[in-house]
Structure 1
Amino acid sequence: MEMGAFGTGIYRNVFAEIGKSQEEIDRKLREAADTFFYGSEEERIYHPVGEDMGYLEDTGNNDVRTEGMSYGMMMCVQLDMKEEFDRIWKWSRTYMYMDQGENEGYFAWSCKPSGEKNALGPAPDGEEYYAMALFFASHRWGDGEGIYAYSKEARKILGACIHKGEDGRPGAPMWNRENKQILFIPGSPFTDPSYHLPHFYELFALWADQEDREFWRQAACASRRYLARACHPVTGMNPEYGEFDGTPMDRKMPWGDTHGRFYSDAYRTAANIGLDCAWFDKDEGHYGAPLRLMRFLGTDLEAARCVFEVDGTPVDKTVLHPLGLLATTAQGALAVPREDSEEAGSDWNVARRWVEWLWNQPLRRGGRRYYDNCLYLFALLALSGNYRIYSAGGKKEMRIW
């Protein structure tokens, strides 16, 4: 495979590779985004508030999460929706940001739609998506004033993530400073494989505070090597939560589950690996995992309806987010060589089937649509060549296959 889009400026359009016209692709992405943000009450996730704020609701839990808010900002910067981006960011800074206590500088991971905090703890996946979306916003639209000085806000977030607890600062960092792995929560002795975004860290290494850039370079390498260990060598599956050595976590959480299975959080890893390949093409042994997952789940979508141990042992439990699993697995096709490449062979036929399945699947409706439809919209962006890097110095014209 050629080097990634960061170096070439070329983004794979996998939907075009399976025979969809550009008109069809553009229409599908536009209609999905319109429904996601402005559909009926049974469809939309986004809710404007007043003249200058808005939030994305977790419709399954009736709350607002940093996961969804930061996802929404990333979607908006990719779709050139600046007004919605700024509304979501202002809601986040107004209600979710913590300016005192041990979590000063972080965002409360869950709030009520009214803005009242449900918890005073943060979730690191929110912070890393906030920072990346803010950098892209700075490069695509330019920095403004106050909280809209996007790049300054992004650097501030990243500084808190790795420096809290140093020199008498209260709280704990979101990354383990020794092994450079992201943590499930600040200070925790374990990680979440789906939080590992080496393609983000490569860019943080260019745009974070100068003194932190080497940390992010090392974090990108550490995360790729971690993902190679965390994804099972046969099934390609990874656990929701994992030990630093890549094994599934077997200690119980306070709510009674070990989260060592291939379940909701875990689905995102295949999508993340696909995007890392598309952007940077730096394989540390992890790029084969999405294809192994596709092969293991097979040709029958019903196989993707139950929960598994990472070794493929089925668990008598139904998946909570079937569309999310389909979307993320299909996005993993970005790590499978194109049909016209020398490496393709039968691998492409497997990947193509998953991309076709996704193409033919509509957005989810009903109470559990939030997580599934977030992952679905990201997959549409990525597989159409529209999940892009916006580099310092302004928007670059990027080519698509």
Structure 2
Amino acid sequence: MRKAVRIGMAALSAATVLAGSATAQAATGPDRHSGPTGGHYANVFEEAGYSHHAVKRKIDAAWNQLFHGNPGTAPDYFDGQSIYYQVSPDMGYVTDVANHDVRTEGIGYAMMIAVQLGKKHEFDSLWNFAKTNMQLQSGPTKYFFAWHTRTDGSIIDPGIAPDGDQWIAAALTFAAGRWGNGQGKYAYGPEAKQILHAMWHNADTGGVNMFDSKAYLPTFSPPGVNDWSDASYALPAFYRVFAKADPDDAKLWGKAVAAGEKMLQVAHNPTTGLSPCYSNFDGTPHRAFWEFPPSDESYSITFQEDAWRVIANANLDASWWGVQPWQTQFSNTLENFFIGQGVNSYVSRYQLNGTPLVGGQNTYEPKHAEGLVAMNSTSAITSTNPKRLEFVKDFWNTPVPSGRARYYDGMLYLLGMLYDSGNFRMYGPVNGVWSHSAK
């Protein structure tokens, strides 16, 4: 959940946080990988003429800068490069530099990036922070994660942002597939399954589910805001994996696949391809009740940071599980709009009809924001537009984010590098069996 200002959910949640700790146990065994339907990951960097070695150097440089670069100067660290901070030998976090907090969204992204790149130490350190400080161990949202904490781990708001929880669960699933399970909290597969089970079954014991029982979509922020959603929370590519990792609920995950794909298909404007940040379960824009006075430029009903991710969610689904006509239509529509705006110069926030916003949530972010450039480049995975690779080249020529806005844009930048290079891969169960094949 990417808002600088969000309704406080503390009064709506009775959840508490676990403060315990455990000793890290190294999981052993070879990397284990399973390929997508068709056995081939889309690689639009290769299509655009970039060599394997050039791509690897670029990904390595982005990782080194964002995870091990200059941390910046205290107290605000705005002049730095890194978003990852190691606070003890076995614990680390990524921080939203501009807001000086830790968010489940960022933890989930960073864990996923770490498992994709084989960075086990950073993965375990991030998971240790999330498990120790963010995961709730009682109350209606048991086993979910408080959406943001201070950098010392103390909870700011125990409300839930389902995007982060889903990314954490997916990253744990892939860690089990790639490295095998360790001991205690480092038994990645059982930890993932516990989270996945809670998403559908907390209500069985008087709690609150993460997924709506009729819409089969994640709600916006359980327990208090659970009658609408966010289109960028729809992750059907993950739900197909979750159905294999959590076979007891495979039918529910199957319904979530259909609902998630439908959300991604209908949430965007049919003329521009732009999606709102918040959505009703039918994909129509949802105006958040805390945005007052209402405006045509309100975050919830416009194309801003949350909505950027809708683009990649649709195209990751296609890269892993096969391209469907609606994904191609979506990408073509979106690209045609941004070609009209100027591929190398479009701004980053719009009304859904394509009118640029006068202002934006983060005025310190570049107008041609690196995060949106990264997400737009993934449209080339499914597009048939003759200019599709221009978006890939624009991304390739975009520097790694640094400075005050480096957190969110940096996360999307590294994810975009993995999506576009075919290096965002599945490590995990295939037909209920952990794959030992390598690619």
Write out per-residue CA displacement over residues 196-220 of structure 1, whole angstroms, 9 at most, x where no aligned residue.
Answer: 0000001111111x32110001100
Distance in 2 separating the partners of 1:195 and 1:284: 21
For 1:103, which of 126, 132, 141 is the aligned residue?
Answer: 141
Q: Structure 1 stretch 300-309 or stretch 214-223: which is displaced more? A: 300-309
Write out per-residue CA displacement over residues 262-303 of structure 1, whole angstroms, 9 at most, x where no aligned residue.
Answer: 111000110111111100025272442233112102262475
Secondary structure in 1 matching 2:257: helix
Say if 2:308 is the partner of 1:267: yes
Distance 1:149 1:5, change over 3 A: closer
For 1:332, which of 356, 375, 379 is the aligned residue?
Answer: 379
Distance in 1 separating the partners of 2:83 and 2:195: 25
Distance in 1 separating the partners of 2:135 and 2:245: 22
Uncovered stretches (5+) of structure 2, i.e. residues with no partner: 1-33, 72-79
- Report how far residue 315 of structure 1 moved: 2.6
Residue 117 of structure 2: aligned partner? 79
Residue 397 of structure 1: aligned partner? 438
Q: Structure 1 stretch 320-329 or stretch 21-30: which is displaced more? A: 320-329
Say if 2:215 is the partner of 1:179: yes
Is this contact kept in 2: 1:231–1:237, CA < 8 A? yes
- Report how far residue 22 of structure 1 moved: 1.4
Say if 2:85 is the partner of 1:43: no
Is this contact kept in 2: 1:306–1:317, CA < 8 A? no
Is this contact kept in 2: 1:38–1:44, CA < 8 A? yes
Tell me which amino acid in the other structure corresponds to 2:95: E
For 1:237, which of 262, 274, 280 is the aligned residue?
Answer: 274
Distance in 1 separating the partners of 2:185 and 2:94: 19
TM-score, structure 2 normalization:
0.83
Tell me which amino acid in the other structure corresponds to 2:66: F
Q: Structure 1 stretch 296-305 or stretch 214-223: which is displaced more? A: 296-305
Distance 1:212 1:62, change over 3 A: same
Say if 2:364 is the partner of 1:317: no
- Report how far residue 230 of structure 1 moved: 0.6
Secondary structure in 1 matching 2:203: coil
Say if 2:241 is the partner of 1:200: no
Write out per-residue CA displacement over residues 303-331 of structure 1, whole angstroms, 9 at most, x where no aligned residue.
Answer: 53252121223332247451111110112
Residue 360 of structure 1: aligned partner? 397
Distance in 1 separating the partners of 2:239 and 2:119: 24
Secondary structure in 2 matching 1:7: coil
Secondary structure in 1 matching 2:423: coil
Distance 1:282 1:331, change over 3 A: closer
Distance 1:48 1:196, change over 3 A: same
Is this contact kept in 2: 1:249–1:258, CA < 8 A? no
Is this contact kept in 2: 1:274–1:334, CA < 8 A? yes
Say if 2:61 is the partner of 1:24: no
Tell me which amino acid in the other structure corresponds to 1:222: A
Say if 2:258 is the partner of 1:221: yes
Structure with more relative contact order (C-alpha pairs < 8 Å, separation 6 or more): 2
Distance in 2 separating the partners of 1:301 and 1:319: 22
Residue 124 of structure 1: aligned partner? 162
Tell me which amino acid in the other structure corresponds to 2:381: L
Distance in 2 separating the partners of 1:305 and 1:296: 12
Distance 1:395 1:265, change over 3 A: farther
Tell me which amino acid in the other structure corresponds to 1:182: P
Secondary structure in 1 matching 2:273: coil
Distance 1:83 1:190, change over 3 A: same
Q: Structure 1 stretch 97-106 or stretch 246-255: which is displaced more? A: 246-255
Is this contact kept in 2: 1:201–1:217, CA < 8 A? yes
Secondary structure in 1 matching 2:153: coil
Tell me which amino acid in the other structure corresponds to 2:41: Y
- Report how far residue 103 of structure 1 moved: 2.3
- Report how far residue 233 of structure 1 moved: 1.2
CA-atom RMSD, angstroms? 1.8
Moved over 3 A (4+): 254-258, 318-321
Secondary structure in 1 matching 2:214: coil
Is this contact kept in 1: 2:176–2:428, CA < 8 A? no
Tell me which amino acid in the other structure corresponds to 1:356: K
What are the equivalent positions in structure 2 for 1:125-164 lying under 5 Å apart? 125-164=163-202
Tell me which amino acid in the other structure corresponds to 1:288: Q
Is this contact kept in 1: 2:348–2:372, CA < 8 A? no
Distance in 2 separating the partners of 1:353 and 1:34: 26
Tell me which amino acid in the other structure corresponds to 1:315: L
Uncovered stretches (5+) of structure 1, i.e. residues with no partner: 337-343
Is this contact kept in 2: 1:103–1:120, CA < 8 A? no
- Report how far residue 5 of structure 1 moved: 5.2
- Report how far residue 122 of structure 1 moved: 1.4
Aligned length: 382
TM-score, structure 1 normalization:
0.91
Distance 1:238 1:23, change over 3 A: same
Write out per-residue CA displacement over residues 170-208 of structure 1, whole angstroms, 9 at most, x where no aligned residue.
Answer: 3x1111111101111125111101110000001111111
